Homo-oligomer: A and B are copies of this chain.
């Protein structure tokens, strides 16, 4: 297990907190690409710890694995990612984070309004705008109003 041999999947799992099976699954999804040693076992680089960390954060932000793969495609597969590489990718992630925060704040403010009047009058909430939805692939605009205008 010399430094030049890289990390085993078990070592990677211990350091990231991910299950071994999850790491292998991520490989099938194209999120990580280890090389194999003479015996056919997976060996990982240190940079892969960063890669998996990134995957974990992105997942918390609600990105699907295919989406994360897209984002990570901005990283060179062949060379070790540079500081600039990570900065670029992470900045994109931060933008998403800020968007998500803004959406939730808008939602909270609307909900505050709803609670204020006690009617839970949701038609006024930003919530029902599909553009605000995480995946934004909802079944269309959500309306709770009926002809009379109340719930």
A interface residues with partner B (beta carbon < 8 Å) = 15-17, 19, 46, 49-50, 53-54, 56-57, 60, 83-84, 86-87, 90-91, 93-94, 97-98, 100-101, 104-105, 107-108, 111-112, 114-115, 118-120, 122, 125, 127-128, 133-134, 138-146, 151
Contacts and interface: CB of A to CB of B under 8 A. Distances in A.
B122 A57 contact: yes
16 contacts: A16-B144, A17-B128, A17-B138, A17-B139, A17-B141, A17-B142, A49-B146, A53-B151, A56-B127, A56-B142, A57-B111, A83-B118, A90-B120, A93-B111, A94-B112, A104-B104
Contacts of A17: 128, 138-144
Contact of A94 (B111, B118, B122): B111
B144 A53 contact: yes
Nearest to A7: B146
A102 to B, nearest CB: 10
Contacts of A50: 120, 122, 151
Contacts of A118: 83-84, 86-87
Contacts of A139: 17, 19
A17 to B, nearest CB: 4
